[in-house]
Each structure stands twice: as structure tokens, then as C-alpha cells.
Amino acid sequence: MNTFGRLFRINIFGESHGKALGIVIDGCPAGIAIDTDGLVADLERRKPGAAGTTPRKEDDLPDIVSGVFNGKTTGAPITMLFENKNVRSADYDAIRDTPRPGHADFVLHEKFKGFNDYRGGGHSSGRLTLGLVAAGVIAKKILSPVSIEAKLTEAGGNKDIEAAIALAVEKQDSIGGIVSCKVMGLPAGLGEPFFDSVESVISHIVFAIPAIKGIEFGSGFAAANMHGSVHNDAIMDEKGTTETNNAGGINGGISNGNELCFNIAVKPASSTPQAQHTWNKSTKSMEAFQVKGRHDLCIALRVPVVAEAAAAIALADLLLIHNAYQP
């Protein structure tokens, strides 16, 4: 399913090299002003173009087709389309025979019995995150004054990101990174004890972002190496403010009013310029393989704004559900 959310519900669609891709946002409250500046700003942050990112030009302002009237949301489904221009389909013909390592080419062919649009990753392209980013801008407005901030804190194992990118460009080999996300001002009480825990819901949508390999909340994997006496966050006041924040703002799946924080691991882009090997379905042998075309060396650079959007969408949904139970 290409849908996420219970009340604030999104549905993404489209392919990398089709006519257009986009998103339908259902269950959005009426009366929210469409924040064009915010939209442009977030879409710019997602854009390629920096060193380490693909030079493909994307002029990605969405065409708002429905759900907005006189600059405000109407309560009806909001549809935003992103046209696919500047597309070179010919680059991708070879994919049919030689599935790219690290990519979804092989599994998409299996799952969809060869009927999938294989050009450029097709529906599974990272380009689909355009819709997420656009929806995130609206979700952020629903959450306001809660604020969300994600940044790349490490690339290729290096906290000096610029140096890491420079090295990747020099080596002509893609690198991964760590994105850290913080949510400030979130009220206590969001999320549910088990299956709709804040962690469950955020991780669910975060793993929809291509190239994510792991997520940790608060102390995360380091918790495995800590004692309870150290890990527990002492509660300091009636608002539940804690001395430390190993919980990452969540206890028992429910937000506790402290800063919500999580880290995600981004793998190096599968489309590295380096030589690789894969199975050739035509020759029925394993062969050397090299991707062509324009690709990011560090896709992690583009992930923070998508991670913010993902968190915003998940939390906007939980906030609406929370509101349902307020007297």
C-alpha cells in the first residue's frame, strides 16, 4: 500500500520517468494556509545540485490540483502533482537484463511479474519523496508551534561533512551518513501503548524513505550497553521534564513532553560510479556492471528534509488522533 496514516492520510503515486508523480493528502483540517515559502524552501532543501548530489535539474514546484481554495485547505483531499521533465529514458534500458546491485530492479521484476515501469527505479524512485516533502510542509503547519529539525550529522563516518563529500568525489564512490532529527515542543500523550507507539509510527514512515537502514530513538543502540540506573531519566517537575533524555521523549510508546529525538542511518547510494557485478539474465552469467547517468554520491545530504517531513506527517496524524479524545 502506498498509503500512510489514520486521520491525516497520505497516498503517493507516480514513477520517476512517467508523466508525473505526486501525493493525495486526505483528512487534512480545513483552513490551513498553504505556505508557499515553506514549500519552496523545503523542496529546495531536497534538491540535488550540491557537490555529492546529482546534477539533474529538477524544477519541482507542485501543481496543486485539488483541496485548496483561496489559498487555504478546504478539508477535501489535497492533490499535488510534480511533472517529470528532463527525463532520459534510454539510460535505463539495460536494467531489464542486468538488475542493478543495491537497487530494487530485481525484486520489482519478481513482485510485479515484469510489468513494472523499470525506467529509473520507476515507482520506487527516490523522486517519490517529493510528495512526502510537500505533505510535510502542511503537516508542520498542523503541528505548529511544534518545530522539527533534522540534519546530517555524519557522512562516510566523518562529522566534517564537507570533507567527507570531497573525499567521496575524489574517490568517485558513494557514501552513507547519519541524520539526526529533533522535535521540540511536542505535548505529552501522543501515541499508543503498543502498535501505534510513537516509535512504531515514526519508524514505519521513516523506513518508507529509500536507503534507510536503521533508526534509533533517544539513547538508541547505546542503551544496550548502559545500566538502568544511568539510563533512566529522573523526572524533575510536574510537567514531566527529565534530567537526561535517554528516552528520546517517549515512554511506553507515548510522548512525554521532552524533546523527541531519533537518528537514522542512510546507506551509500547504490548508484556508485565504481565497477560492480550483477547477474545478466540474457547471458545467464555474472558480469561486470557500471551504472551510467547522473547520480548522487551522498544521498544522505538530501535526507534531512525528507526525515523532517516523515516525522511531521506521523506526528500530525497522532496529534489529530489525540485531539479526538480531548473533552
Cα angle 246-313-103, degrees, rounded to a multiple of 5 = 90
49 binds a second copy (CB under 8 A): no
221 binds a second copy (CB under 8 A): yes
21 binds a second copy (CB under 8 A): yes
Stretch that binds a second copy, among 34-42, 44-52, 53-61, 237-245 (CB under 8 A): 237-245
- Residue 205 grid coordinates: 514512515
* Contact residue for a second copy among 37, 86, 115, 170 (CB under 8 A): 115
Hey, which residues does 23 pair with through a beta bridge?
12, 80
* Contact residue for a second copy among 37, 145, 170, 228 (CB under 8 A): 228
93 binds a second copy (CB under 8 A): no
Complete DSSP assignment for 159-172? S-HHHHHHHHHHHT
Amino acid at 307: A
176 binds a second copy (CB under 8 A): yes
* Contact residue for a second copy among 79, 139, 165, 312 (CB under 8 A): 79
Closer CB to a second copy, residue 41 or residue 243? 243
Q: How many residues bind a second copy (CB under 8 A)?
A: 150
d(CA 11, CA 134): 12
Q: What dihedral angle (degrees, nearest 10) is formed by the CA atoms of 299, 208, 5, 319?
A: -50
82 binds a second copy (CB under 8 A): no
Contact between 18 and 127 (Cβ < 8 Å): no
Closer CB to a second copy, residue 38 or residue 102? 102
Residue 208 three-state SS: coil
142 binds a second copy (CB under 8 A): no
User: Segment 183-202, which members bind a second copy (CB under 8 A)?
Assistant: 188-189, 192-197, 199-201
Contact between 291 and 273 (Cβ < 8 Å): yes
- Provide the minimum distance between the beta carbon of 206 and a second copy in the complex, in angstroms, as a whole number: 8
- List Cβ neighbours of 10 (8 Å cut-off, separation of 6 or more): 3, 4, 23, 24, 25, 26, 131, 132, 135, 313
Closer CB to a second copy, residue 55 or residue 252? 252
Closer CB to a second copy, residue 41 or residue 282? 282
Compute the radius of gyration of the chain from its Cα atoms.
Answer: 21
53 binds a second copy (CB under 8 A): no
Closer CB to a second copy, residue 53 or residue 271? 271
Stretch that binds a second copy, among 43-51, 54-62, 133-141, 229-237 (CB under 8 A): 229-237
Closer CB to a second copy, residue 138 or residue 212? 212
Contact between 181 and 261 (Cβ < 8 Å): yes
* Contact residue for a second copy among 34, 108, 181, 309 (CB under 8 A): 108
- Provide the minimum distance between the beta carbon of 131 and a second copy in the complex, in angstroms, as a whole number: 10
Q: Any idea which residue has 515512554 for its cell?
A: 251
* Crossing angle of helices 129-143 and 303-324, rounded to 10°: 50
